[in-house]
Amino acid sequence: MTRPQFAARQLQDTALRYFLEVVRCGSISEASQRLNVAGSAISRHIAHLEELLGASLFDRHARGMVPSAAGEVLAVHALKSAHDAERVVHDVQALQGMQRGRVRIAASEGFAMEFVPRLVSDFVRQHPGIQFHLGVYPPAESTRRILQGDADIGITMSRSPEKDIKIEHLQPSPVLAVMRHGHPLTRFKQISLSQLRAYPIALPEPDTTVRQLFDIACSRQQLSFEPVLTSNYVSSLFGFLRHQPDGITISGEISIRYQVERKELAHVRLRDRGLDLRNIEVQTLMGRTLSRAAQAFLAYLKAQLSELPP
């Protein structure tokens, strides 16, 4: 546990901390392991809260504990208290300038390969006391991490708004055909999906927004593809292109921006209808006040995203 995290915990009531951990884990036994506190002690604190409020805070099932209606209300308060306590500690430590702080980022893999690490590296040159944690998740999980307070800033792809999520930045991210530099298709400014059928193709798994839009567009045109490789790891798709000179994959621009700059990869816009129906989203939790360090990085991130090609 970092010093700011420890100090933040001292600003929160113990019973609320234990209660919130049980909400996150779904069971007292798992919360006990994460907190390194006896399960009986956690149970006593929750019982005390229930007696104090005159309401049951959990519906207890064989598979775990789920917050009741009263528990959900208390969880919102407890989570806000945890966020406020951590922000106060970071801001007090930063009064003499932004010398300390911690920023937690949840991002999709395409952002995490090069874009976010570069931004972090540039940022800490100016603010060497700031520490970062980068978690890499599917889009829906990145958003869930923001909602649960496990991340300060989310960077992901989205096709629809989420309740309680504040969209700090939004910009289109159309699906592109990606290939090696010098591939025969790079002579075109735009191509159609049907033109990809002449080449071996590698595709991401169906739970990604880029694959979902690809599948919908193919279905509209009754096009079928048999991918040579399907993977949930974006780097594997790009690795396939390195070893398959005429290979193709699909991606958003940001995932390949620096490879294109180095002339390792190239991309061509796909003109088929519906392949532009997703957005880059920078997300925070609605109503939450970020620490000074997180606010500064958020502003820097938004400025860098705004400079991306359309």
Hey, how many other C-beta atoms are within 10 angstroms of the C-beta on 265? 22
State the pLDDT at residue 310. 43
CATH code for position 39: 1.10.10.10
- Is the pLDDT higher at 99 or at 271? 271
Query: At residue 237, does pLDDT exceed 80?
Result: yes
| 269 neighbors 253 (Cβ within 8 angstroms) | no
State the pLDDT at residue 291. 85
Alpha-carbon distances of 128 from 58, 102, 119, rounded to whole Å: 43, 11, 13
Judgement on whether residues 120 and 261 belong to the same structural domain of the protein: no
Judgement on whether residues 102 and 79 belong to the same structural domain of the protein: no
Judgement on whether residues 4 and 43 belong to the same structural domain of the protein: yes
Q: Which residues of 166-180 are buried (b: 16+ CB within 10 A; e: fewer)?
A: eebbeeebbbbbbbb
Judgement on whether residues 289 and 160 belong to the same structural domain of the protein: yes
Q: C-alpha angle with apex 182: 178 to 188, nearest 5 degrees?
A: 65
Judgement on whether residues 51 and 197 belong to the same structural domain of the protein: no
Judgement on whether residues 166 and 286 belong to the same structural domain of the protein: yes
State the pLDDT at residue 85. 65
Judgement on whether residues 2 and 89 belong to the same structural domain of the protein: yes
State the pLDDT at residue 50. 85
- Domain range for 133 is 98-173+279-310
- Asked which of 35, 67, 93 is the last residue of a domain, the reply is 93
pLDDT digits (tens, 9 = 90+) for 244-267: 999 999 999 988 988 998 999 999
- Is the pLDDT higher at 13 or at 38? 38
Name the DSSP class of 228: S
- Give residues with Cβ within 8 angstroms of 137, minimum separation 6: 106, 107, 108, 145
The CA distance from 240 to 235, in Å, is 9
CATH code for position 196: 3.40.190.290
Question: At 118, phi and psi to the nearest 5?
Answer: -65, -45
Judgement on whether residues 283 and 168 belong to the same structural domain of the protein: yes
Q: Bin 274: left if φ > 0, else alpha if -120 < ψ < 50, else beta.
A: left
CATH code for position 292: 3.40.190.10
Taking residues 84-96, what's their average pLDDT? 59
pTM score above 0.85:
no
State the pLDDT at residue 10. 40
Sign of CA dihedral 41, 44, 48, 50: positive
Q: Provide the number of structural domains found in the chain.
A: 3
- Asked which of 67, 93, 119 is the last residue of a domain, the reply is 93
Judgement on whether residues 212 and 136 belong to the same structural domain of the protein: no
Taking residues 30-56, what's their average pLDDT? 86
58, amino acid identity: F
Judgement on whether residues 185 and 234 belong to the same structural domain of the protein: yes
Taking residues 125-138, what's their average pLDDT? 91
Mean pLDDT estimate for the chain: 86
State the pLDDT at residue 7. 42
pLDDT digits (tens, 9 = 90+) for 150-182: 899 999 987 677 888 999 999 888 999 999 999
pLDDT digits (tens, 9 = 90+) for 48-83: 888 888 888 898 887 788 889 888 888 887 777 776
Judgement on whether residues 54 and 121 belong to the same structural domain of the protein: no
- Asked which of 70, 93, 116 is the last residue of a domain, the reply is 93
Judgement on whether residues 222 and 74 belong to the same structural domain of the protein: no
